[in-house]
Amino acid sequence: MADSHHTQNDCDVLVVGAGPTGLIAANLLKRSGVAVRIVDERAEASRESRAFAIQARTMELFQHLGVVDKLLDRGVINPVIEFYVGGKHAGGLNYDLAGSPDTSYPFIFLLPQSQTEAILIEDLSAHGVEVEREVKITGLEQDANGVVARGTAAGGAAANIRSAYTIGADGARSIVRTALGLSFEGSKYPQTFLLADCRVEWPRDHDPFDHARFRVFLNGSSIGLFLPLDGAACSRVMATDHSGKADQSGPAATQMDLAEIQTAFSLAAGMDVTLSDPVWTTRYRVHHRGVDTYSKGRVFLAGDAAHIHSPAGGQGMNTGLQDAANLAWKLAAVLRGADRGLLDSYDAERRPVGQQVVATSDKMFSAAAGKTGWEATVRDWIAKPAAAAISNMKSVQHKAFRTLSELDIAYSPDFGDDAAPALGKAGPQIGQRAPNATIARHTDVFDLTAGYGFTVLALSRKPLERDEAGRAADALDTLKQGKQGGVTTHLVTRLAVGRDPRAVFVSSAEVFEAYGLRDQDAQATYLVRPDGYIAWRGDGLDAAGCGRFLAQFGFADAA
């Protein structure tokens, strides 16, 4: 059953929460032609660094939005995670050596959340949507046609907004989640941590450290992190808090001074480190929790509203942004007439990912931080040779990068039927990320999938004569939809005699290898979802099969 725009709605989609997840959702919805509003109870955008690690898959999302260069101008490219045990360098993960040619971002990118938000707010404003500040949502009501979010605006005036759908991206203390009556199962870790964004000076015999490298320190019952945020001027440091103050009541539970974290971080690093010029300091506890459903009726949860976990692995914000990317295109499609059953796949696809991230980060965190006394001694004893071995094993480096970067996240192939038995396991499967690959000197796959709708890639390693290319292009033209966020098609082939202007001619076999076309006469058709994952694939130049698949989701023009 398709949805329809209800004339009484104030907007198609209301996004509650203007953190990174909510801002990405609003940006993608607006670019897909959806009438969207975004509200936040804060009077102004965050000035704190908070989340800072941006993984490769998220960088690809920012590239898709056209803002990646703005991020690159402000942040730090970090290709290495170095491990220190007992104050001595033990090894590390070098993403440059991990071998992932299908992404342009083989690194962890470090940028304070405040700057990430500023870039997204500016971009959203450029597309005609402003964040509505000091709007506090207090409750939700749903009916057959939409959702009413009830709340207050600045000054206490009533602010009731009716939308076809609502996204709760309002963080770990989500009002939207509470209004839905959903529990947030999990617990908090017993350890507490101290955090500061400040200038770091290392002891002279360790100086100069490369200030563009992420470092993890293990030293007995203490762990520490060092992350460069602005060259030598400002870095993030974190260390185990042994004071017990977090268990006190009142301001003492969170307040701290720089001397306190300097002592704790020096203990973790195994050397005397001097901290100065603090921008932000805090004492905090880490939780790991999740909901048992990401949606209820016409309301959806994304980001920290749906899942929170330890910072181990640096995936928290990234997972939330991928929630938004998964949900936004589905809402846009349903609002254009696709079957509402498509929205059920949001929970089916993203909740297992959230659960896996919570479980993986929990294992990493517990292995590093959950040790005291003799357990910590054994951990350090094991960690030294393990870190050294990892440094020399390219396969381990590759697997670690693919996992942390979220490039290998895949969804169930049940999204559609695999109609490509001749391809077998070659090439990306349904539910997997569509890999980037060079097509010609200045063109790659991501250039062709840059829109906000479905993209059909008809690939022919076999050279096509002009007439053959013309017939294939004619068949693909029947799939095109002119609506914003509809369907675009590309015929990608080797040059033969003559050419059809609708074809993209390759100068590199890389795209064919990446998509499983091993034989010189091989052909295949891939349908790429708006979020960059494979929706369907067929053997040969199968525009008709692709059209039948699209039709089942209510794309009437693709019959």
- Which pLDDT tens digit goes with each residue over 40-94? 999 999 887 788 899 999 999 999 999 999 999 999 898 889 999 999 989 888 8
Q: Nearest Cα to 370, choosing from 252, 237, 193?
A: 193
Q: Count of residues for the chain?
A: 559
Which pLDDT score is estimated for 250?
Answer: 65
- pLDDT tier at 483, thresholds 50, 70, 90: very low
pLDDT in tens, 117-153: 999 999 999 999 999 999 999 999 999 999 999 999 9
How far is Cα of residue 344 from the mean position of the Cα atoms in its chain? 20
The predicted model scores a pTM of 0.93
| CATH fit for domain 11-75+111-184+291-368, picks 3.40.50.1370, 3.50.50.60, 3.40.50.10600, 3.30.470.10 | 3.50.50.60
d(CA 72, CA 62): 10
d(CA 414, CA 277): 53
Whether residue 525 is predicted with pLDDT greater than 60 in this model: the reply is: yes
What stretch of H or E contains 272? Answer: none
- Chain region(s) in the chain for CATH 3.40.30.10: 413-558
Which pLDDT score is estimated for 481?
Answer: 66
Mean pLDDT of all residues in the chain? 88
- pLDDT tier at 287, thresholds 50, 70, 90: confident
Amino acid occupying residue 254? T
Q: Nearest Cα to 138, choosing from 153, 154, 156, 150?
A: 150
- pLDDT tier at 5, thresholds 50, 70, 90: low
Distances (CA, A) of 237 to 26, 42, 256, 365: 32, 26, 14, 17
Long-range contacts of 378-384 (CB under 8 A, 24+ apart): 379/218, 380/85, 380/86, 380/218, 380/219, 380/220, 383/83, 383/85, 383/90, 383/218, 384/85, 384/86, 384/88, 384/90
Given the structure tokens 């479980």, which residue do they identify?
A: 359
| CATH fit for domain 413-558, picks 3.40.30.10, 3.30.160.150, 3.20.20.150, 1.10.150.120 | 3.40.30.10
Which pLDDT score is estimated for 271?
Answer: 93
Which pLDDT score is estimated for 374?
Answer: 65
d(CA 365, CA 375): 14
- Chain region(s) in the chain for CATH 3.30.9.10: 77-108+187-287+370-409
Amino acid occupying residue 546? C
CA angle 354, 360, 364 (to 5 degrees): 145
pLDDT in tens, 198-238: 999 988 776 555 666 899 999 988 999 999 887 667 899 99
Which pLDDT score is estimated for 210?
Answer: 61
pLDDT in tens, 378-420: 777 777 777 777 777 888 888 888 988 999 999 988 765 545 5
Which pLDDT score is estimated for 441?
Answer: 84
Domain 77-108+187-287+370-409 belongs to what architecture?
2-Layer Sandwich (3.30)
Given the structure tokens 């993403």, which residue do they identify?
A: 95
Average pLDDT, integer, range 503-532: 93
What sections of 490-540 are H helices per DSSP? 510-514
- Chain region(s) in the chain for CATH 3.50.50.60: 11-75+111-184+291-368
Given the structure tokens 């938000």, which residue do they identify?
A: 117
Integer Rg of the chain from CA: 25
